[in-house]
Amino acid sequence: MSDSSSSAELATRMRTMIDRLSPGDRLPSSRELIRRYKVGPATVSQAIAALAAEGVVVTRPGSGTYVAAPARRRAGVPDTAWQSVTLADRAVDTRSLAGAVGALPEGTILLDGGYLHRSLQPTRALTAALARAARRPDAWDRAPAAGLASLRGVFATMAGGGVNAEDVLITAGGQSALSMAFRAIAGPGDPVLMESPTYPGAIAAARAAGLRPVPVPTDADGLKPDLLADAFALTRARLLYCQPTYHNPTGAVLAPGRRRQVLDTARAAGAFVIEDDFARHLGHGAPVPPPLLADDRDGTVVHLTSLTKPAAPSLRIGALTARGPVMERLRAVRLVDDFFVSRPLQEAALELLTSPAWERHVRSLGAALRERCATLAAAVLAELPGWTLDRVPAGGLHLWVRLPGGADDAVVADAARRDGVAVSAGNRYFATELPAACLRLGFAATAGHTELAEAVRRLARVDRTLGVSR
């Protein structure tokens, strides 16, 4: 064994030696191990520490290292089989969130990402905001359970519709807010209506809360109000989850004429509407439609938004906006779940949102997303004529592409992954049967336009290899 051998390799050899010894036997000294295996003192020390952590050996300062007793050695690998019986059917299904299993090959281009590439994040503004927040004398004090009043005020202004800071609850990002809202409003076994297709995280969160996702079809103008009314009547659901603005994955915007219909239909059913407004700051330059909350007169809408998509994944700050007793229920869930959201992160978010840098970032981000979206759409139309792109969205982070009839989206996604491009198979976005094979292609997580064009070239190669467009 050479001087460059790792401590892991030495530990493996030592285990072979230990298997020939008895409990209580003393191992060779560190000096002897160094001589025998031709390694350095640090390598020996690290190997012994690893074996001690496993319970294979016991070290006694001033005396040496000894083979551990069998009971001590078994302790490193506990028998947890009994837990399967106790946990029973309480499994949490995360398959729709996880996507493909395993590490991506080096050089893979990410078209399956749901966050901004580092080059699009306001890194400088975030760093400055965090530094300013950390200098505040109360930065590390406990935050109010509902969140900092000033930050709630900023989110209230964003939401519009006459809401105020008292109507806002700060959350640890959008996914946490979604999980809280599902558990606060509905109970295990209850149905929850959802657009079809929809965000996989919503499907997973609903199922984790014991709810039954019920799909409601959409078209180019978003939810179909007549089918929504039918779904409420058939299921007696008291909850609708929807994304009216730059819907994930299709990019659709709920048509103006349908906004009032959706709200009136939910109100007639005595149901809440969870409005996932994740793309509030992801418009591509044109004015972003106001949230449904702005049209809500009766407290029907529970509005959800977050900063992770337009800023950075680790800025885990979001907000729930609601009026009436449902807000008290949400606050109660927050208190039971985790008391409050990290104050330094709230202070940093407040610094960011109230600085001129934020508006500059939103404008520049919109222009960058518009250009990336156009690049990807043009490449798909040129290189993959058999694939159908019904819409080039005016906001958001994704394109929704329909594959030719007979294609299997999961097979295409797996083949694309092997060829160095990660895409999202459409089956993840449906709570029940898949009406057509689709892929979601993201344009925000790549390094730039060159990668987008190369990704589509690789997809075209996959298309030819599999005969998708035949």
Beta-sheet pairing, 301-306 with 191-196: unpaired
Please tell me the predicted confidence (pLDDT) of residue 89: 64
Q: Are 99 and 110 in contact (CB under 8 A)?
A: no
Q: Are 441 and 412 in contact (CB under 8 A)?
A: no
End-to-end CA distance of the chain: give it in Å, rounded: 57
**CA 353 from chain center: how many Å?**
22
- This prediction's pTM: 0.80
Dist CA 455 CA 152 (whole Å): 41
Dist CA 362 CA 209 (whole Å): 34
Please tell me the predicted confidence (pLDDT) of residue 106: 81
> pLDDT tens, 187-241?
999 999 999 999 999 999 999 999 999 999 999 999 999 999 999 999 999 999 9
Beta-bridge mates of residue 135: none
| pLDDT < 50 positions in the chain | 1-4
Dist CA 317 CA 47 (whole Å): 42
> pLDDT tens, 318-374?
999 999 999 999 999 988 888 989 899 999 999 999 999 999 999 999 999 999 999
Task: Choose among 171, 426, 162: nearest CA to 299.
Answer: 162
Structure tokens at 388: 């159908």
Beta-sheet pairing, 318-321 with 168-171: antiparallel
Please tell me the predicted confidence (pLDDT) of residue 4: 44
CATH of 98-119+358-466, one of 3.90.1150.10, 3.90.1330.10, 3.40.50.300, 2.60.120.260: 3.90.1150.10
Query: How is the chain split into domains, by residue range?
Result: 7-74, 98-119+358-466, 123-355
Structure tokens at 156: 């209230």
Which residue's entry shows tokens 């518009």?
A: 370
Please tell me the predicted confidence (pLDDT) of residue 1: 46
Please tell me the predicted confidence (pLDDT) of residue 432: 84
CATH of 7-74, one of 3.40.50.970, 1.10.10.10, 1.10.150.300, 3.40.50.720: 1.10.10.10
**Residue 260 CB coordination number (10 Å):** 12
Q: Are 43 and 10 in contact (CB under 8 A)?
A: yes
Task: Choose among 377, 146, 396: nearest CA to 280.
Answer: 396
Please tell me the predicted confidence (pLDDT) of residue 3: 44
Please tell me the predicted confidence (pLDDT) of residue 85: 66
For domain 123-355, the CATH class is: alpha beta
Dist CA 234 CA 220 (whole Å): 24
Q: How much of the chain exceeds pLDDT 90, in percent?
A: 67
> Using alpha carbons only, how large is the chain's radius of gyration in Å?
27
Structure tokens at 341: 């959201």
Structure tokens at 149: 């009043």
